[in-house]
Amino acid sequence: MNGQKHMQTILLRESFKHFCREDIGIKHDSPTNILDVSCGRGDYSTTWICSISKYVSSGIKYFCTDIPEGVCKDSGECYIEATKRKIKAAGNILKLCNDPVGVECDLYSGVDMIIPFPIQADIIHWSHSGYHVRDALGPSKNDLKAIGQGLQTAIAKIWSALDKQGLMFSIHQSNDTSDGVPAQMATLARPFTGILDNVPWYIKKNVQEHGGWVITVHFGAPVKFPTMKDSKMLLSGTVTILSASVPFRWLANLKR
């Protein structure tokens, strides 16, 4: 993993520590369903989930999704199978309560589900793959309308998989540098991917259209969780934490 992934893991660990303390999003009487969107080869998935597992007291049920074309060069496994194998191998650390379940699908088109029906995720994690909407669009990859529609489709699929009391972590580069901290993804992105630094804007727009609420934490700066008075802060950083049906009330009860 590169340094950026380690930073993300630290942020997620601190987030879950906060959620556990404030009784937000994590189940205490049954396993917490976690869905990894665009899981890749599974190394980062295993690392970040291991880092938060001690804050999920009743265990984890793990689900993941990625494209059928995703194949590990070293082992020849598809991404889904590689991720499931690595998660299962860490099952004791994760307090895993199921055999990992994977779904292959195209996130940016069609109507296929990303988690087996009727299961819904308590936590959804979506890290950096929003940029790949351009790869999925083929000849239309530079069409701004097609990009917007592709991301709209992806967010609709994610939203349908998220429990009404659930949380989603979206980790994508932002073009907002008003805090003086420049985005770092440009130096890491593969040339054919293109640099889409407005993915958080699309995500915020579509989530709010679905009735959700958005809070942003910039992992390039010291981690600071907003209080109730900050709950309508503008999207200004890299990590967007999304709540399905109610505003984030960080110091009060999230659940109705």
Selection from 1-5, 24-28, 79-83, 230-234 with the highest mean pLDDT: 79-83
Contact status, residue 54 vs residue 14, Cβ threshold 8 Å:
no
Alpha carbon of residue 200 to chain centroid: 12
Q: What is the pLDDT of residues 136-194, one digit of tens each?
A: 888 888 888 998 999 999 999 999 999 888 888 887 776 655 555 555 554 444 444 45
- Check residue 205 and give its pLDDT: 86
DSSP secondary structure of the chain: --HHHHHHHHHHHHHHHHHHHHT-S--SSSPEEEEEET-TTSHHHHHHHHHHGGG-TT-EEEEEEE-TT-B-TTT--BHHHHHHHHHHHTHHHHTB-S--EEEE--TTSS---SS-TT--EEEEEEESGGGGHHHHHGGGTT-HHHHHHHHHHHHHHHHHHEEEEEEEEEE---S--TTS----GGGTS-TTT---TTHHHHHHHHHHHTT-EEEEE-TTS------GGGTTPPP-SSEEEEESSS---TTS----
- Pairing of the two strands 213-217 and 239-243: antiparallel
- Check residue 198 and give its pLDDT: 75
- Check residue 82 and give its pLDDT: 96
Contact status, residue 62 vs residue 93, Cβ threshold 8 Å:
no
Give the count of alpha carbons within 13 A of 120, CB side only. Answer: 13
Q: Please state, in angstroms and rounded to a whole number, the distance separating the CA atoms of residues 209 and 207.
A: 5
Q: Which residue has the higher pLDDT, 1 or 220?
A: 220
Alpha carbon of residue 24 to chain centroid: 17
Q: Which residue has the higher pLDDT, 87 or 29?
A: 87
Q: What is the pLDDT of residues 194-217, one digit of tens each?
A: 557 678 778 888 888 888 877 766
Q: Please state, in angstroms and rounded to a whole number, the distance separating the CA atoms of residues 197 and 130.
A: 10
Confidence of residue 18 (pLDDT cuts 50, 70, 90): confident
Tokens of 110: 């069609």
Q: Which residue has the higher pLDDT, 99 or 231?
A: 99
- Check residue 8 and give its pLDDT: 80
Q: Please state, in angstroms and rounded to a whole number, the distance separating the CA atoms of residues 256 and 248.
A: 12
pLDDT greater than 60 at residue 26: yes
Cis status of the peptide bond prior to 139, with omega within 30 of 0:
no
Mean of pLDDT over the chain: 77
Residue whose pair of structure tokens reads 């999003």 in the numeric block: 25
